[in-house]
């Protein structure tokens, strides 16, 4: 890449909280918008992001980062494509050219365990933890209260020290801003910027001298007298009061409570110590904190993880109605969530950021349309070319036979046009291709080649079918089952009866705490009912994926940095069988897209969330269970893995019990909806090329769990979402 003298390539690097060094470069002009600090748009050219101590792994290469103020974006791409790395680079201002005046808030999948709020952090309630997350507002209030107390005490010396410390902090920030500007300027303007840095550094030194003089009692030149100190302090206090009013600090607690309530916190849970909360509720606190903080750009990395449908619907409404004017960028495996919130889509492909004006589903529709259009055009052009070539061959043969020079020249002219002007006959807009408008730059042909974009290779997941049970009987049968925990005022489940036949499938829906996990424990035999009877087929093997399966494997991998997927699988196989068959292991892992160096060389700790889920799931299904019990299997996966998993489970012949909050996944796996059924618009109706190989699935039953009952929903997920929305509106959670 060549860079001219006025657009130097600036580089920065930093250690992220993911323990990986991020290196960032970008092309900049001396007159870059960063020197103006007037826009909240982000427009960065030729950005390259690399990770590793020496930047050995390039994530993005010479691509543009363009974010318009006030827009809501989906950022999609496979795990490992660089979504989280890009978020880290943006939030830490690592990309040269980013204006420090743009305030960026990040909700990361990897929370910093050292992110405490002072020595009493362990005593903070969930509500206080969220409130203190808005550090700027909290700090502004604390500074205001501190100065107000000093003025009330009439302690002139302490007031003087407070003023000097405040001015010193402001002067030091001015130096940093001046240094950033000077680093980006050259020539005469660069010299002036460096002189400005020296001038501001002199002011900092002066404040430090005055601060030391007041502390030691040694007077310095131009020092303020007592009257001037108090006047300056009163003016500063007035300014602080106006700032607090503009920041709406007084309503901070009310705003935090409202957000936590929307995310499912009861008033009692809000007052519980933050440190005593489970990982899922801590994640909700982090999400609430990022929503509360005032920012110009909000980066949300998998915000719907650990959220039930109630909280997800509230979050959709909250983000869609956001009136702060900030830019929002979201990554999520929940396609319904993204489609209901975002306006534009950014997707990472071939180390490039590509932009689409619409939702991820609309992008899928557009890409399928384009692929079909290019295939149709290519096939038509091939037929046309064959016809022209045949006519040329006949013309040449006739010319040679008759000695007709004119016919020979005509054949050669046709061949020349075929060589020079063969290719696209339509522009990207569908209009007739014009050489003077649609073909720019240097090309070896007069027309563009017809290229059918095959996209990224799909994720493959193949589940071995279970052996047929030799005896008849239902897979699971509940008869008048009740469960009551000690100290509970009423039963969690009462008189529950339902049947899951062999090869049947069902799912349990409701917010956390209503009995879904209890039902799973009853099915697995880990819990005995207080009354009633749970009957399982006596010969049936059960494969169980729990919410903690991935975290348990990650904990094991943390103790052995060299533990690979192949070795982890071998250890489990040896524990189960007492023997190891490496060929069988490799075949099983390959059927889940874990092959080659990914399986044998890459440590488990470095696998993506989707790859870890595939590894755990491979260990479950290699035993060929007759029934799968899957509790929140969608939490850690990327969208391609989720789609592959949904498609293969849809045609699975064994019995299936599912607990999930993913609406698309439930519709496909349990209710039998085709994977792309909702990815077509009116112009696309009837065209289901992507579903031609999809096998028919027997629809199962979606159950609603709550008030001690397990009730079937005739209209499945659609009915459940409608019931949740109605309840949330009635409770004032949704407007």
> Residue 221: which H helix or E strand, with range?
none
Report the DSSP pairing between strands 655-659 and 627-631. parallel
The length of the chain in residues reads 735
CA distances, 595 to each of 220, 395, 458, 571, 637 (Å): 73, 54, 14, 18, 18
pLDDT confidence of residue 678: 58
C-alpha dihedral sign at 691, 695, 696, 697: negative
Tens of pLDDT along 423-452?
A: 665 555 556 655 555 555 555 555 556 665
Tens of pLDDT along 374-408?
A: 777 777 777 877 887 888 888 888 888 888 888 88
Closest C-alpha among 562, 553, 655, 651 to residue 600 = 562
CA distances, 186 to each of 28, 190, 192 (Å): 12, 4, 9
- Where b means 16+ CB within 10 Å and e means fewer, 179-218 reads ebbbbbbeeeeeeebbebbeebbebbebbeebbebbeeee
pLDDT at 465 over 70: yes
Q: What is the full DSSP assignment across 432-468?
A: BP-HHHH--S--SSSS--------SPPP---PPPPPP
Closest C-alpha among 543, 578, 541, 575 to residue 556 = 575
More confident residue, 371 or 476: 476
- 698, 487 in Cβ contact below 8 A? no
Give every CB contact of residue 441 below 8 A, 6+ residues apart in sequence. none
CA-CA distance, 667 to 683, in Å (whole number)? 23
Please give the span between the terminal C-alpha atoms of the chain, in angstroms, as a whole number.
52
CA-CA distance, 353 to 536, in Å (whole number)? 51
Phi/psi region, residue 212 (left: phi>0; alpha: psi -120 to 50; beta: rest), is alpha
Tens of pLDDT along 316-342?
A: 999 999 888 899 999 998 989 999 999
What Rg, from alpha-carbon coordinates, does the chain have? 32
Tens of pLDDT along 588-613?
A: 888 888 888 888 888 888 887 778 88
pLDDT band at 122 (very low <50, low <70, confident <90, very high): low
Mean pLDDT of 131-159: 78
pLDDT at 84 over 80: yes
CA-CA distance, 9 to 28, in Å (whole number)? 6
287: its two tokens: 């999400």
Mean pLDDT of 260-273: 91
pLDDT confidence of residue 12: 58
For the range 238-241, what are the long-range contacts, defined as Cβ-Cβ under 8 Å and sequence gap of 24 or more?
240/140, 240/143, 240/144, 240/147, 241/144
Report the DSSP pairing between strands 327-331 and 72-76. parallel
pLDDT confidence of residue 184: 67
CA-CA distance, 216 to 208, in Å (whole number)? 12
pLDDT confidence of residue 219: 67
Mean pLDDT of 704-717: 92
Highest mean pLDDT of the ranges 53-57, 655-659, 680-684 = 655-659
pLDDT confidence of residue 2: 30
Q: What is the mean pLDDT of the chain?
A: 81
- 646, 613 in Cβ contact below 8 A? no
C-alpha dihedral sign at 389, 390, 395, 397: positive
CA distances, 79 to each of 175, 339, 411, 424, 447 (Å): 40, 20, 54, 35, 37
Per the DSSP assignment, residues forming a β-bridge with 12 are: 24
Three-state secondary structure string covering 652-689 = CCCEEEEECCCHHHHHHHCCCCCCCCCCCCHHHCCCCH
pLDDT at 691 over 90: no
> φ, ψ for residue 706 (rounded to 5)?
165, 155
Report the DSSP pairing between strands 531-536 and 476-483. antiparallel
Question: Tokens 């601060």 map to which residue?
Answer: 211
- Packing angle between helix 565-577 and helix 609-621, nearest 10 degrees? 20
Tens of pLDDT along 157-208?
A: 888 888 888 888 888 888 888 887 787 677 788 888 889 889 988 888 888 8
Sheet holding 655-659, edge to edge: 542-545, 627-631, 655-659, 505-509, 701-706, 709-713
Domain locations in the chain as residue ranges: 9-103+295-358, 362-438
CA-CA distance, 214 to 203, in Å (whole number)? 17
Question: Tokens 């959709």 map to which residue?
Answer: 316
724: its two tokens: 């949740």
pLDDT confidence of residue 626: 94
pLDDT confidence of residue 547: 79
pLDDT at 619 over 60: yes
What are the strands, taking DSSP E only, across 270-343?
A: 297-301, 327-331
Three-state secondary structure string covering 129-180 = HHHHHCHHHHHHHHHHHHHHHHHHHCCHHHHHHHHHHHHHHHHHHHHHHHHH
Closest C-alpha among 652, 697, 700, 702 to residue 675 = 697
CA-CA distance, 312 to 306, in Å (whole number)? 9
pLDDT at 345 over 90: yes
359: its two tokens: 């939702």
- 320, 128 in Cβ contact below 8 A? no
What are the strands, taking DSSP E only, across 487-631?
A: 493-500, 505-509, 531-536, 542-545, 627-631
CATH of 9-103+295-358, one of 3.40.50.150, 3.40.630.10, 3.40.50.300, 1.20.1260.10: 3.40.50.300
pLDDT confidence of residue 313: 93
CA-CA distance, 307 to 320, in Å (whole number)? 17
More confident residue, 711 or 680: 711
pLDDT at 133 over 60: yes
Helix (H, G, I), strand (E, B) or coil at 41: coil
Mean pLDDT of 509-522: 87
Degrees, nearest 5: CA angle 253-259-262? 140
Tens of pLDDT along 472-495?
A: 999 999 999 999 888 777 889 999
pLDDT at 241 over 70: yes
Burial of 371 (0-12, 13-18, 19+ CB in 10 A): middle
pLDDT confidence of residue 116: 44
pLDDT confidence of residue 4: 28
Closest C-alpha among 172, 163, 177 to residue 204 = 172
- Where b means 16+ CB within 10 Å and e means fewer, 473-494 reads eebbbbeebebbeeeeeebbbb
CA-CA distance, 40 to 34, in Å (whole number)? 10
Mean pLDDT of 529-553: 90
User: Is the pTM above the cut of 0.75?
Assistant: yes
Closest C-alpha among 272, 705, 708, 704 to residue 489 = 708
Give every CB contact of residue 140 below 8 A, 6+ residues apart in sequence. 240, 243, 244, 247, 249
Mean pLDDT of 12-36: 62
């Amino acid at each position: 890449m060549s860079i001219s003298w006025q657009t130097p390539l600036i580089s920065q690097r930093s250690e992220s909280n993911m323990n990986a060094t991020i290196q960032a470069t970008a092309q900049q002009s001396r007159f870059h918008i960063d020197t103006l600090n007037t826009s909240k748009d982000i427009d960065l050219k030729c950005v390259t992001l690399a990770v590793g101590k020496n930047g050995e792994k390039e994530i993005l290469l010479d691509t543009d980062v363009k974010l318009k103020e006030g827009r809501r974006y989906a950022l999609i791409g496979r795990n490992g494509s660089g979504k989280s790395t890009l978020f880290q680079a943006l939030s830490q201002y690592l990309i040269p050219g980013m204006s420090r005046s743009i305030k960026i808030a990040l909700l990361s999948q990897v929370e910093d365990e050292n992110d405490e709020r002072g020595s009493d952090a362990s005593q903070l309630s969930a509500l206080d933890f969220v409130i203190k997350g808005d550090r700027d507002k909290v700090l502004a209030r604390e500074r205001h209260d501190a100065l107000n107390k000093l003025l009330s005490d009439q302690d002139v010396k302490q007031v003087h020290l407070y003023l000097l410390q405040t001015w010193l902090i402001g002067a030091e920030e001015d130096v940093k801003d001046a240094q950033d500007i000077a680093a980006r300027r050259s020539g005469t303007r660069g010299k002036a910027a460096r002189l400005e840095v020296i001038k501001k550094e002199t002011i900092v030194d002066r404040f430090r001298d005055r601060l030391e003089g007041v502390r030691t009692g040694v007077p310095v030149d131009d020092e303020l007298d007592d009257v001037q100190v108090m006047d300056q302090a009163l003016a500063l206090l007035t300014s602080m009061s106006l700032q607090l009013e503009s920041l709406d600090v007084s309503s901070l607690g009310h705003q935090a409570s409202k957000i936590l309530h929307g995310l499912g916190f009861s008033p009692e849970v809000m007052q519980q110590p933050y440190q005593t909360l489970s990982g899922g509720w801590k994640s909700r606190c982090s999400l609430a904190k990022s929503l509360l903080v005032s920012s110009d750009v909000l980066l949300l990395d998998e915000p719907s993880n650990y959220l039930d449908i109630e909280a997800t619907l509230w979050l959709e409404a909250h983000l869609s109605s956001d009136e702060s004017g900030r830019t929002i960028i979201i990554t999520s495996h929940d396609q319904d969530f993204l489609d209901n919130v975002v306006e534009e889509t950014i997707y990472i492909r071939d180390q490039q950021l590509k932009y689409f004006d619409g939702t991820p589903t609309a992008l899928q529709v557009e890409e399928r349309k384009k692929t079909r259009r290019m295939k149709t055009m290519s096939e038509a052009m091939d037929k046309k070319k064959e016809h022209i070539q045949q006519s040329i061959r006949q013309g040449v043969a006739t010319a040679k036979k008759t000695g007709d020079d004119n016919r020979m020249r005509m054949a050669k002219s046709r061949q020349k046009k075929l060589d020079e002007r063969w290719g696209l006959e339509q522009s990207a807009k569908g209009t007739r291709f014009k050489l003077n408008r649609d073909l720019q730059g240097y090309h070896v042909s007069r027309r563009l080649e017809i290229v059918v974009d095959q996209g990224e290779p799909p994720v493959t997941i193949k589940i071995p079918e279970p052996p047929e049970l030799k005896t008849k009987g239902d897979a699971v049968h509940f008869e008048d089952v009740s469960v009551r925990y000690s100290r509970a005022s009423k039963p969690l489940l009462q008189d529950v009866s339902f049947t899951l036949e062999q090869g049947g499938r069902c799912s349990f829906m409701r917010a956390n705490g209503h009995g879904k996990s209890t039902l799973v424990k009853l099915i697995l035999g880990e819990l005995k009912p207080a009354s009633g009877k749970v009957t399982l087929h006596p010969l049936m093997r059960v494969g169980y994926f729990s919410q903690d399966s991935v975290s348990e494997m990650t904990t094991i991998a943390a103790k052995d940095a060299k533990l690979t997927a192949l070795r982890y699988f071998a250890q489990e196989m040896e524990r189960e069988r007492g023997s190891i068959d490496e060929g069988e292991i490799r075949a099983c892992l390959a059927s889940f897209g874990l092959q080659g160096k990914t399986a044998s060389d890459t440590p488990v700790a470095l696998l993506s969330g989707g790859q870890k889920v595939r590894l755990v799931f491979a260990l479950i299904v290699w035993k060929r269970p007759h029934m799968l019990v899957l509790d929140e299997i969608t939490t850690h996966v990327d969208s391609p893995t989720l789609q592959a998993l949904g498609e293969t489970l849809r045609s699975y012949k064994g019995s299936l019990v599912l607990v999930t909050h993913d609406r698309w996944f439930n519709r496909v796996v349990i209710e039998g909806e085709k994977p792309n059924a909702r990815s077509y618009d009116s112009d696309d109706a009837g065209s289901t090329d992507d579903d031609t190989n999809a096998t028919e699935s027997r629809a199962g039953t979606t159950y609603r769990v709550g008030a001690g009952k397990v009730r079937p929903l005739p209209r499945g997920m659609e009915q459940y979402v409608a019931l949740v929305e109605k309840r949330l509106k009635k409770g004032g959670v949704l407007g």
